[in-house]
Chain A
Amino acid sequence: SAVISQKPSRDICQRGTSLTIQCQVDSQVTMMFWYRQQPGQSLTLIATANQGSEATYESGFVIDKFPISRPNLTFSTLTVSNMSPEDSSIYLCGAEENTEAFFGQGTRLTVV
């Protein structure tokens, strides 16, 4: 099974700034994806990211706000831009391997 490392695990950021979250997979995977999770609630898909192509965003999420990079088959980043308190949430990266989804431990972001 794929092991996913995500960092930072948590951060407190000032409004108006940006934070880049890194996601490293221990094996090559075709598809990676990013979810947002409000504390105690379910997961909402932000976008999927395939290596060599632009990320595909879900309704309500735009590239200017959540730019994603996928430079190779083991790594992806999500940037939360121009943050506001409403962006406070847990951000989870994930990857698919053999029809199973694996997730990192999440990044708990607090915007003050």
Chain B
Amino acid sequence: TQLLEQSPQFLSIQEGENLTVYCNSSSVFSSLQWYRQEPGEGPVLLVTVVTGGEVKKLKRLTFQFGDARKDSSLHITAAQPGDTGLYLCARPRGGAGNMLTFGGGTRLMVKP
């Protein structure tokens, strides 16, 4: 099993602070996705990265795919309480379809 390791597992910060979440593996991925899940809801796709070194921005969120396509990071600038949730990285399992293997998740709490 090609595991995805996320760190930190839990992060509690004050509104306005910056943070970075990491997703690492020993394997090379064809692509990697980041999801956010709020309580009582299913995960929602934030971004897909496919090219080594790729950087994508989504408002205050910056996603980076490592040059070797083995790792990724999510950086949030000036975090808001609305950013609170479970952040999951995921990679395709391979084969038909797009079933995903998820990382362990980072639970973020942003306090006002």
Interface residues of A: mostly helix, strand, loop or mixed? strand
On whether A105 and B105 interact (CB within 8 A), knowing A31-B98, A40-B86, A45-B99, the answer reads: no
Max chain A Cβ within 10 angstroms of own Cβ: one of B88, B97, B101, B102: B97
In the assembled complex, A30 has its CB within 8 A of some CB on chain B: yes
Query: Given the known A-B contacts A41-B104, A42-B103, are A100 and B41 also in contact in the complex, defined by CB atoms under 8 Å?
Result: no
- B78 interface hit (Cβ, 8 Å): no
A108 to B40 CA separation, bound complex (whole angstroms) = 8
CB<8 Å pairs between A and B, sample of 27: A4-B42, A9-B40, A31-B97, A31-B99, A33-B97, A42-B102, A42-B103, A43-B43, A43-B102, A44-B102, A45-B93, A45-B99, A45-B100, A48-B99, A92-B42, A94-B42, A96-B97, A96-B98, A96-B99, A99-B48, A100-B48, A101-B43, A101-B90, A103-B42, A104-B42, A105-B42, A106-B42
Binding site for A on B (CB under 8 A): 33, 40-45, 48, 86, 88, 90, 93, 96-105, 107
